Structure 1
Amino acid sequence: MDLASLIAAQRFTPVRFAEAYDMDDVDSFLDALAAAAREGDRAALQEAARDLPDQRFATVRMSSGYDMAEVDAFLDDVLAPCLVEHLGGTVEGMSPLERAEWRLNGPGLVPARTGDRYDREQIDRGLAEARAALRGGGGEADDEAGRMRAALAVLEAMRPESARGLRAGYPRGAVDALLIGATAILRGS
């Protein structure tokens, strides 16, 4: 999935009667970013990557808005690394193994009880196995390339199931983006 499609596919949980981000404000920002990605506007994407940590949105209390933690997690843990990858950069000179660890260790998946979501325990277990593979300590996967292949195999073998009922799960878009970003790093693409 390319960057523009990743952004366009992201959905956030709407909330009411709590402080939340203004939906139009968030949607406008992401629409402009997706358009820049589709058009190949490298300058706009570089500016967005640089300014993303300071991005602020208007808030609402009584009308519907997007869950603030979910939006922040997407921006920090999914969009920021994907922008860096899309621009062909590195994260502060990290090796691919260090970038993969950074990607898989960052906080970011915010549990939700509604919407399209994956089973939380299954995702946590798969990510823990991938992190363990990156740390190595077992036979043929002791070198960096071997550990990266082992972690990639774990991620590619994951077949997430939907969360059922009101059981908390992770939003599909956030999980898919995390897995796509991590596998891209591990593949070296």
Structure 2
Amino acid sequence: MLLYQKKNGNVAIEVPLILNEDINVGHKDYQELKTFNKLLLIPSKKDVGEYESFIVNILQFNSLKGFNNRSSELNYFKMPKNFDGLITVIDNKNIIVERNKFKLSKLVQLNNENKILRKDYDKNTEYTCLLYGEWQSDGTFKAMGIVTCYASGTGGINPPNYADSNPDD
């Protein structure tokens, strides 16, 4: 299921991402909990018609009925009521660009220190990657690998910001 969203002039496209069985995104403190992954595409601020991609990893502490990888209840612009968990955003270089912890859908811990601490982080570089994979019969995209990545431009990497999600919108 492809989820296209637009709010206040901002656009985000999300696709449930099914990882190969031998690939797992986990958290050392919460290994027993299930995670969900989404491919997030947001328009490049520099080049019209181009998108930047991110992997969004969602780890839920509480068991929300009906919440799963295909749920539209949690997306770039919306947080389900009473969500407890971690949302981690990973860029195309496999770098965590944002990690936020939520309690009852409210941000309780913001951690985007990687953007600040990485010495080689260039705010004027955009990364674009071409992934290959297959669309499943249920509408999800199964990534199988990366064809190529390149850096360009004088724009900036503008990672998604789940910290600004508001469950009341």
TM-score (norm 2): 0.29
Q: Which has more strand, going by share of residues?
A: 2
TM-score (norm 1): 0.27
Q: Which has more helix, going by share of residues?
A: 1
Q: Which has the higher contact order (CA 8 A, sep 6+)?
A: 1
